[in-house]
Amino acid sequence: MTGDPMLVVGWLVVAHLAADFVLQSGSIARAKAASGGAGARGLLVHGVIVAACLVPFVFAFGGPGWWVLVAVTASHVLIDWIKIVLTRRAEAAVLADARRRHASAGSAPDGLGPAWTPLPAALFALDQLAHGLVLLGAWAAWLSVAPIEPGFAARVSEWLTGWDLAVVHEVILRAIVFGALLVVNVRAGALFVAILVGPRLAVEARPPAASTTAGGPAPAAVDRPSGGWTLRLGPLAGRIEPDAAPPAAGPPASPGHATPAPPARVGEAIGILERLIVVTFVLVRAEAAIGLVIAAKTLARFRQLDDRDFAEYYLLGTLASVAVAAISAFAAVAVLDSLG
């Protein structure tokens, strides 16, 4: 007896989403992006996580499951490495171009213009597409015709004794679809939009200052370009900005006055809610209501839209966020409709 194709592919997707967006911490992602030994260790740790998520297929399919584990894990690490290298080159190119334009414009900050590139976000999307194609290829090559291990099948049948297997099958598939929607729109969507509209801060590090903080040595300072300007790739656009004056010494803030949440975190939360609402509208066949979400968000930002930089940033982020939600939701609807 072979496994149900939709169920097996669904579990492969769940394993990938768990490895890439649930179990991969920020520290692992940062380590992967580093160069040298730190980057290699980060990729190795991530590869171990990917392999661990594929272990159930070894129990279910035996030898073919081992082939899937090895092939998918190795290809996952290779694809991630290629994406990291290409992303690093793209960011270095835009940074070099920004510096050239700044050098030709002198010390005027407005002479730089936006130092932004869509390539990192495009590479993120292509990375996920490549992983998906590998998963489909692994299923077609090894799992589509492989029989389920008799011991595994017997154990599952024992657990499900007394249950309607058709109902259990449908419930599991629906749970996979809704779980994948949640991960894509909460974690993957947030990462994609953040990479697209907020390129990595690009600064040149120099040796740490001699001073120390209460928690240990002070963090590395930033090398200041001549003329007192620093190149930053921020959430709106990369510009040559004047170095900020150091904060005036004084007593710490009163404990009774809470520090406002960083705008980036608030914006991320708004984006997650936006995507979940759009997904809900698509699932209940109320696609026309998506316009209300965009209209309400635009109304709240109406005055800020006079700023061209902000307007472009807002439009780019909103369109990307809605696109992720709509595409994932319509794909989920297609799968759910196939279940009857």
**Over the stretch 223-249, which tens digit does the pLDDT of each residue have?**
333 333 333 333 333 333 333 444 444
Rounded to the nearest 5 degrees, what angle is found at the Cα of 186, between the Cα atoms of 182 and 191?
Answer: 135
Question: Is the confidence at residue 106, as pLDDT, over 70?
Answer: no
Q: Are 80 and 127 in contact (CB under 8 A)?
A: yes
Helix axes 37-61 and 5-17, enclosed angle (nearest 10): 160
Instruction: State percent of the chain over pLDDT 90.
Output: 54
What does the longest C-alpha to C-alpha distance in the chain come to?
78
**Coil vs helix vs strand at 204:** coil
Beta bridge partners of 41: none
Question: Is the confidence at residue 155, as pLDDT, over 70?
Answer: yes
Over residues 316-340, the pLDDT tens digits come to 889 999 999 999 999 999 999 998 7
Question: Is the confidence at residue 146, as pLDDT, over 80?
Answer: yes
Residue 102: the pLDDT is 66
Residue 76: the pLDDT is 98
Q: What single letter denotes the amino acid at residue 22?
A: V
Residue 231: the pLDDT is 38
Q: Average pLDDT of 4-31? A: 95
Average pLDDT value for the chain: 80
Residue 199: the pLDDT is 53
Distance set, CA 303 to CA 180, 266, 271 (Å): 36, 18, 19
The pTM assigned to this predicted structure is: 0.79
Q: What single letter denotes the amino acid at residue 330?
A: F
What is the β-pairing status of strands 212-213 and 238-242?
unpaired
CB atoms within 10 A of CB 84: 20
CB atoms within 10 A of CB 339: 11
Query: Which of 54-68, 112-126, 159-173, 257-271 shows the lowest per-residue confidence on average (mean pLDDT)?
Result: 257-271
What is the Cα–Cα distance from 143 to 268, expressed in whole angstroms?
Answer: 38
What is the Cα–Cα distance from 58 to 16, expressed in whole angstroms?
Answer: 15
